[in-house]
Amino acid sequence: MNNPSESLIAAMGITAFFCLMAGIFAILAIIIISLWRIFNKAGRTGIYAFIPFVSPYQWSKIAGQGTIFAIIYAFLVTFGTTSAATDQSTEPTYAGLFGLVSFIMYVIIQFGIARRFRKSGLFAIGLIILPFICYPILAFGDATYAE
């Protein structure tokens, strides 16, 4: 770095990196606060949003799904693909099937959440595709939870 322009470019790169990281952390903070508020609106304790097995189970219950559905979804999300991802054998695994089933269940849950908070199917698609926008709308908007 003998040239002053090289150090300027390096400084700009470092600044851009830290700005990007700050933006990502800001989005994560908004999502975390939104999840907490959504759980509270649904009559659940906000800390449930961050406990690994409990969170998908509670999401299923908030969406109006039955206990068996909630347990299966919580199991798939929490434990479903971890053993398949670390398996080094050449035997076929069911990780793809677990992922597909858990995604289908996720879609069902998001439509149930939209319905329970009196939102449209289009909003449910927003929950699936753009959760970092739709979760804060659900959390900080005037949507109320209805069982």
> In this structure, are residues 127 and 110 in contact, taking their beta carbons and an 8 Å threshold?
yes
Residues 66-97 pLDDT 10s = 999 999 999 988 887 655 555 566 666 677 78
Residue 5 pLDDT: 80
Instruction: Give the model's pLDDT for residue 140.
Output: 95
In the chain, the amino acid numbered 56 is P
Q: What is the pLDDT of residue 87?
A: 56
pLDDT of residue 6: 80
Q: Which amino acid is at 32?
A: I
Question: What parts of the chain have a pLDDT lower than 50?
Answer: none
Give the model's pLDDT for residue 86. Answer: 57
Q: What is the pLDDT of residue 92?
A: 61
Percentages of the chain per state (helix, strand, coil), in multiples of 5 = 75, 0, 25
| Distance separating alpha carbons of residues 129 and 21, to the nearest angstrom | 22
pLDDT of residue 120: 94
pLDDT at position 85: 52
Q: Which tokens sit at 32? A: 């975390």
Residue spans per domain, the chain: 4-140
Residue 126: predicted pLDDT: 95
CB 93 within 8 A of CB 84: yes
pLDDT of residue 133: 93
